[in-house]
Every structure is written in C-alpha cells, then in structure tokens.
A and B are shown apart, each in its own frame.
Chain A
Amino acid sequence: MFCRLTGVILVISVLVFSLSAYGQENSREQIKGLDEQVQEIKTDVLSIAEQLNQLEEKLLYPSNTQVAVFIALDNNETFRLDAVEIELDGKPVAHHIYTFKELEALQKGGVQRIYTGNILAGAHDLQVLVLGKSGGGTDFQKTERFTVNKDVGPKMVEISLAAQSITFKDM
C-alpha cells in the first residue's frame, strides 16, 4: 500500500503543484477575448477622461485666469518631505501630506500639481511652507515667499524643494 501511496504522492508532488495548468481549464480564447474587450473599454474610458480633463480646464480654469502650482524635489535630495502648504495672496489654497509612494515618485523625478486655481492678471503673493525631516532625522520647517506675475496666458509655477532651500520658477 505504501508503495502505491508513494507513487501517487510523487506523481502529484513538486512539479504538478508548482505549475498547474489553470489557464488551460478556462479556454485561452475566452480569456484572450475578454482581455481584448477590457482593453477596448479602457481605451474608451481614457478617451472620456481626456475630454473631461479638457472640459474641466476650459470650464473651471480658463487660460486667462489659470494658475497651476507644481512641486518638485531637487536632484538627489534625500530629505523626507512630510507636508507642503501653499498660500496665495494670504489665503491657504493647498495642503498636502505625502505618502511614501508619493515621496518616492517625487524623488524619481515626478512633479506633483498641488494646486490649480484662478487669479487675476498682475502680481500675487505666494507663500510656501514645507515640513519634513532632514537626513539626520531632525524635524524642519521652512517658509518662503515669492511673487507670481500673472499675465494673459495660463500661469505655471514650479516650486523646487531641497533640504536647504525652496526655489521658485515662474513659467
């Protein structure tokens, strides 16, 4: 009996259970067909998203009043960014607390659009408050003020953060 048992066990052992042919059970064609339909609906929804992005921009942030504030990290910055607060003309307009994934995305060179809004043409006061931890593990808080000069076209502002400084690029 044990010989038979051994045989049965061995047959169904290592390889069989490491790599069962589940895919074969559900027909490959069925899986492929469904996958293609999922790809199609993704394309449709992405196209809706694109049009909604444009509609939102046109409706809520027309170019003559639009202002967008972006946050980036300086190259090779390793300090831990905890939060950023933005004030425009003395009013708080954005406050963001960063997750690990978001911080990692910034460290890899991604840029976060933290605020999109509307302002009139002319000079505006922008205040940036950064909270974080330095490489040594001590808490730090830094505030800088800048002037945003809004013209006729959409205004983009890049705030570049480093442990030592906050720099501002007006586009």
Chain B
Amino acid sequence: MYRLFVALTILIFSASSARAGAPSPQELKDLYFGEALYYAFQGDWFDAISRLDTELTQHHGLDEPERDTLYYHLNHARFAVGDFELAYRMHQRAGRAIKAVINGNVEEQVRNEAIFRLARIYFQKDQPVNALYAVERISGDVPADIRNELDFLRAQILMANGRFAEAAEILQDLSDVKSLQGFSTYNLGIALIRDNKELQGREYLDLTGRINSKDALTLAIKDKSNLVLGTKLLEEKEFADAKEVLDRVRLNGPFSNQALLGSGWAAAFQGHFDRALVPWSILATREVTDAAVQEAMLATPYAYGKLDVYSKAAVMYGSALENFGTELDKLDASIKSIREGHFLRAMVREELKQDANWVVKLRRLPQTPETYYLLELMATHDFQESLKNYLDLEQLRRKLEVWQGDLDAFREVIEQRRAYYKPLLPVIDREFRQLDSQMRLRLEQRDRIAQRLENMLVVPRPDYLATSRERIFSEQIGLLEQRLSSGNAAVPESYGVRIRRLRGILHWNIYTEYDQRFTEAYLHLRDLDHEVDLLQNRYKAFVRTRQAATQSYEGYDEVIRNQRFRIREAGEKVQELMARQGHMLETMAVRELTKRRQRLAEFHVKARFAMADSYDRATTVQTREREGK
C-alpha cells in the first residue's frame, strides 16, 4: 500500500505542478522581466533564472529602486525566481528565496503565499515534518487563487505525516472543487482506508473511478483509482468486483496493461478461463518488453491449458519461449551497451528533447536498444530526478564550454580596441585640451557680458553699447581735436563747430538707440546661450565617448581572469558530477535490466516446462481419442 501511496504522490505532484507556474502580469512594465518569463514559458529555466537574477541584482543596486520599472513587479519577480528555481530542481535556493520573502516586510497575503510555496518545497523534497511545520504557520488572509491548492497541500502533508483522519476531513470539503476533480476524492479514499475506514475509502475510490471528464490528468487519476481499487479487491479475493472495477480502466491509458493483466487473473481465479483469455489475448499482442505483457504471454496458454486446449497452449508456450529467448538476448545486449556508455549518450540526444514524450519515444528508436526495458524505471521518481540532473549537468557543461569561447572573443575585442585607441587617444587629448582652454576663455567672456547687461538694467550705460564704428569715429574725433590744439593753439571756430556737431551726432545716436541696442544685446546673448548649450552638449558627449573609449578596453583583465578561473573550476566539477550521476544512472539501469533478465529467465524455464507438459497432455488426449475410436 505504501508503494501505491508513493505513486499517488507522484501523480498528484505532476498534477499540481501542471496547474502551478508563474503567470505573466496584467500589464508588463519591465521588459527584462518579460524576457525572463519568455524563457520560463519555454521551460528554459536556466536562462529564465539567470536573466531574472541579473535584473534583480541591477534593481537592488540602484540608488532609487522605486523609479525602476521592475519595482512594479518586485513581489511577482521574487516569487517567480523561486518558482523557476523550483522547476529547475534547485530546492535549497528556492527555499532560501522564499524564506527571504517570508521574513521581509510584506503583506499578510504575500507572506502566506510564500509559506505555502515553502511548504510545497518541503513536501516535494520528502520532508513531511518540515512541510507540516511550515503549513501550520499560515494564518490570516490567504490569496483566493491558492486557497484550494493550500488545503489540498495541507491534506497531502497530513497524510504524509500519518494524520489520515484530519486529512480526510479537509479532503471531504474539497471533493466538489472542479480543479481538483478526481485528485481530492482519490486521496480521500486512500486517507479513509489508511484511517481504517475501509468501506468508506473504497466508496470514494469507486466514485473517482466513475468520473466523467475529458481532462487527461483527471482521466489518469480515474484509471489509477480503478487500478488501485481493483488490485485491492483482487488481493482480498473479491474477484467478481475486482474484474468489474479493473475493466473500467481505459484500454489506451498508462495503466491499461496492468489492468488487463489483473482483469484476466480476476476471471481466472473465478475459474472463468475463457473470460480471462479476452484481456490476456489483447495484452499478449502489446509491446513485448512490458512486464505485464510478458506475464500475459505465459498466462494466455495457461488459460488455454485450463480449457483443455493443450495443443494451442503448447504452440503458444513455444511462441512465448521463442520471444523470451529473443528478449533475453536483447537484455544481454542492452546491459552490455549500457556498460559501454551508449545509454547515457542516448539520453542526451538533442532531437529527443523536442518531444515532451521523449522518454517513451526513446524506447521505439532502433538505435537505442538499451532503453527498451527501462520505461518503468524511467517513470520512477528517483530515476527521473537523477536523469534530469544528468541532463542539466550536460546543459551546464555545454554552456561552460561556450562561455570559454566567449571569453576568448571578449579578450580579442578588448585587444583590438586597445590597439586602436591607445595610440589615438594622446593626440585627441592634446587637441581637446586646447579646445577646452579656448572654450573656457569664451565662456568667461560670455559671463562678463551677461554680468554687464545685468548691471545696465540698474545703471544705464549707453556708451557700452556703442558700435565699433562709433568708437573708431569717437577716437578719430579725439585725435583731430588733439592735433588741432597741439602747442596750445586755439581750435579754429569752423572746425570746432564741426567737431562738436560730429560728437553730437554720435552722442545722439548712442543715446537715442540705447533701448533698441540694449534689447538687441539681450537677444544676441540669448542666441549665444543657445550656441553655448550646443557646445556644452557636444563637450559632454565628447567626454562620455572619451571615457567610454578607455572603459572599452581597460579594467576587464581581472574580471575575465576570474571568470575564466571560475568557468574552468565549474567545468571540472560538472565533469566529476556527470561521471558520478552517469554511473548512478547506469547502475540503476543495469540493476533493473538484470532484475528483468532474471524474471524473464524464470519465465523462459517455466515456458519450456509448461510447453513440454502441454505437449504431453495434448499427446495423451490425442492417444485417448485414437483409443476411443
């Protein structure tokens, strides 16, 4: 029964993870967060985590993170990174990330959702006590969309801790929840049976086995429920009921082989060998590597024997014998192939990953005979986890290899930039210094003019706004005066009048046009300011570009050296872990194949004896018939 419970857990786990996930926000404000989701939605967890980690690190490094676009999605992003890590089977890190949310200053709903996720991690990692401790910390308001999921998880955790009565109580309330259809009643059935309420438990298993649904997961749990109940009835020698229940299992579902085998035995134990032949004959034509099929290949002639059709039984035993012989050779070849490393090479084939059902497809590939017998093994939790780890390690190995190449390319880019900029920059810097001093001088002049105009608003100074031509005229008039009055001679009256008139004109012009000139001076200053702004922008752009030029090749040596070292170190570690993980997988596979081989060898012997026995009986019957004639 414990094994059933484990299988149930696996099935439920797959159901809940299929229904979980990180949905995209209603309105996406941070494109890089959207990019992380893009990878996550494709199941590319490594890139999803690495993008989101980079984004979160940059966000936390900002002086004003509340102005960053990620700020709007921060809680979502924190949860998402935990989800991605969980999907990438980094439970420890996911746990830490979620604990950080729990211990942070967050709302009750957010905190409760975080605890729910933490409890789920503990439960999935086979730590039911920690899971229970976590789930008991949830109090107050719980987000509406996880309420049912939380209750279901609570029930699962209670079951894992042996508290079946409490679990049953919770599951009872969930029995009408559409999203948990089948799963809640199935678990309720198991919980009640484990709580010694056998009859009630069976009722719920029976109820689950009669569900009408089109959902693939619900149909799978329905089949599972029928198989469990049917097997239970079979063990308790309630053969008629067992057959009825086992016959409900779909013929094309994942549990159909076991159900057909069980259905045949249920009929056989009632002495209805003709009825047993129906499911067994279907089963015997299926995939020969399946354990149930092999058993059916012996059971079918056994039924014929019981029906006194010894000749047919003898022929079928002969056929089984031949098949078992072929399969034994295949198993030997598979074990040899695994030991030669072909199994692991088959597992990492890229084209297989394109298909979600690749493990099953693998069995049909003629190039991978070593995987033919491993479907059941591949379906087990430990093997799946180990295989996924191996595939993840292979992915890491490839990434690290590519990154080494990237670092070489970075190094080359840096060297080329250095070779280009280094001789160029001193000349540019020299020219820039000259331009810089000229600019400063002109800016000082501009400031002086601006200051003077400012002062002229208070104390008007028309003479400051005389044109250069007027200034020259004024100086020329002064010189003429000087010359005429040299040696203390009196200036002739006619000249004096003309000089005064000229001065008068100058004075007139300067004073009458003062306001207009003042306005124009301001307008010119404004134009100048515009030009100065443009100049300043170009100046800043130059400074930035100049700085970028240096930064484009300086300061990377240490970083690249460190990265190269870390990549090499990680690469060695990955290789070592791959070897260990690979060895573990090979050991598991060889053990499984050896076990299957032993079983098949037993079948082979039994088939040989049974065939001989059937021939004897057939001969006896024929002899009797001849004697009777």
Contacts and interface: CB of A to CB of B under 8 A. Distances in A.
Interface of A: 1-2, 5-6, 8-10, 12-15, 17-23, 25-26, 28, 30-31, 34-39, 41-46, 48-56, 58-60, 62, 64-65, 68, 70, 72, 101-102, 104-106, 108-113, 121, 152, 156, 158, 171
6 contacts: A1-B613, A9-B299, A18-B7, A45-B574, A55-B560, A158-B31
Interface in B16-71: 23-25, 28, 31-32, 34-35, 37-43, 46, 49-51, 53-54, 57-58, 69
B148 interface: no
A17 B291 contact: yes
A104 B599 CA distance: 45
Given A15-B3, A22-B588, A42-B392, A50 B89 contact: no
B544 A152 contact: yes
Contacts, number: 232
A19 B588 contact: no
B137 interface: no
B interface majority secondary structure: helix
A105 B560 CA distance: 34
A110 B40 contact: yes
Given A48-B566, A55-B560, 4 more contacts: A20-B592, A39-B93, A55-B556, A112-B35
Interface string B174-217: 00000000000000000000000000000000000000000000
Contact of B41 (A25, A60, A108): A108
B558 to A, nearest CB: 11
B160 interface: no
A23 B46 contact: no
Contacts of B89: 35, 38-39
A interface majority secondary structure: helix
Contact of B577 (A28, A37, A52, A110): A37
A38 B57 contact: no
Contact of B389 (A14, A35, A108, A171): A35
Contact of B92 (A25, A39, A156): A39
Contact of B4 (A13, A15, A25): A15
Contact of A104 (B32, B41, B595, B602): B41
A45 B577 contact: no
Q: How large is the interface on B (under 10, 10 to 19, 20 to 34, 35 or more residues)?
A: 35 or more
Contact of B399 (A30, A34, A45): A45
Contact of A72 (B34, B39, B88, B541): B34
B581 interface: yes
B584 A26 contact: yes
A101 B262 contact: no
Contacts of B544: 64, 152
A110 B295 contact: no
B298 interface: yes
B337 interface: no
Contacts of A18: 3, 7, 227, 255, 258, 376
B519 interface: no
B436 to A, nearest CB: 20
Given A5-B298, A31-B386, A43-B93, A112 B393 contact: no
A134 B563 CA distance: 47
